[in-house]
Structure 1
């Protein structure tokens, strides 16, 4: 169970842990422990999972992102394992420095380190150019998945506020360079894997 919130990149309010748990009616230690125990037992019973050693902190964060609903948390863990099996290209084992440098003139992403006073995390996307191809789009998907994985492991929040800035780009250009199937995959990856609520 998560007891202290510490991260080198993300800041938390002193009462974030208690506030988020209280909002989901999981503020009593035994309630959170019981829910995480249920998830832990369920994971052990899943024969099709390659990885079964999820930490209790990871399971708790999954439960928080699922609004405290154990069944929804189970679905999210199941979908995450499925995605990692079916779409391994979006989940690299490691990333070399400079791997995403070609995205810099096209798109910028920022995750604000401080939470809002309501304990929400703010994400900012700025598309700066129309000069990209489908390879850039796939690379950006990998980047977003990597960020979502980091957030899932290290963040503890009430939800997200996402701001998209397309002032310098034409959204129709994006649609012409991205197939509907690709778009569906990335939306599914971001919502289910990233577990935004």
Structure 2
């Protein structure tokens, strides 16, 4: 199922649906990608080591806004300076990654929802919070986002986070800055759009979890967080069952069919190769030194999620 990048099931009909929703077509995309490729070549501080298919996907992720794609391409290369702990050295064969995968199951479901969103599921958290090394999972998330930028075709994401095993120890060890930085990379370097975060089995720890949400996520994203009590079926008001693993009440199949499978689509050299391509800030044009948007000094506060 995972051979040659076939894990993500994207039909021609779904590609056509996504394009229709965004008011674009093959001719517009080709023209825009060519224009963006030329723009990239003219940026002295940016490498042009990115495939046309990636530019196309970023164009789709940016709702076909040329200016947002330019911001996205700049952030994609420049944020590696600011967040190397998230965006560099993503070696899936290092000793750290197998350890992380044993103690928390993360997956991206192969089917799109009916409205063309990609479903992410985080479940089976080890009850021993000392086994959860959050920065490692941040790195795994951006590795998956890298694969999606190369191979996905969707309108955005839905995250399902199973809180069944989450306890006070996990909450205490949560890294607010890591979550904020991950959100920033998600929406600026990869330009993806988050439709909703669904907290399932959320009774015991819900109050504490929502505190983390309010501290860590932007106000706009906070409004897209939904809680579902154990035994309820309210999740399926938002996501159809065939996009949800059996263990969470869906019909897609068991968790182990999907956990970390997306990273098997690419080899370790493919992810490590991305480390070579980053901005050269010494060559950034003077007029491009907007600290709130570009480069390693800014906070990116002006960039809001779509």
CA distance in 2, matches of 1:118, 1:140: 28
Q: CA RMSD for the aligned pairs?
A: 2.3
Q: TM-score, normalised by structure 2?
A: 0.56
CA distance in 1, matches of 2:9, 2:77: 29
Q: TM-score, normalised by structure 1?
A: 0.84
**Aligned-residue offset at 1:167:** 2.1
Give the 3-state SS of the residue equivalent to 1:48 in structure 2. coil
The question of 1:32 aligning with 2:12 is answered no
Larger CA deviation: 91-100 vs 112-121: 91-100
The question of 1:186 aligning with 2:197 is answered no
CA distance in 1, matches of 2:39, 2:130: 42
CA distance in 2, matches of 1:97, 1:134: 17
The question of 1:19 aligning with 2:17 is answered yes
The answer to whether the 8 Å contact 2:76/2:190 transfers is no
2:45 corresponds in structure 1 to: 48
**Aligned-residue offset at 1:178:** 3.8
The question of 1:111 aligning with 2:108 is answered yes
The question of 1:164 aligning with 2:151 is answered no
Computing the radius of gyration over CA atoms, which structure comes out larger, 1 or 2? 2
Give the 3-state SS of the residue equivalent to 2:129 in structure 1. coil
1:3 corresponds in structure 2 to: none
1:101 corresponds in structure 2 to: 98
**Residue in structure 1 matching 2:84, options 81, 88, 108:** 88
Larger CA deviation: 145-154 vs 94-103: 94-103
CA distance in 2, matches of 1:186, 1:133: 21
Deviations 1:138-191 (CA, angstroms, capped at 9, x unpaired) = 111111111110111111112222111112103x54453244433321221233
Where in structure 2 are there 5+ consecutive unaligned residues?
194-306
Give the 3-state SS of the residue equivalent to 1:100 in structure 2. helix
Residue 115 and residue 179 in structure 1: after superposition, are their counterparts in 2 closer, same or farther (change >3 A)?
closer
2:118 corresponds in structure 1 to: 121
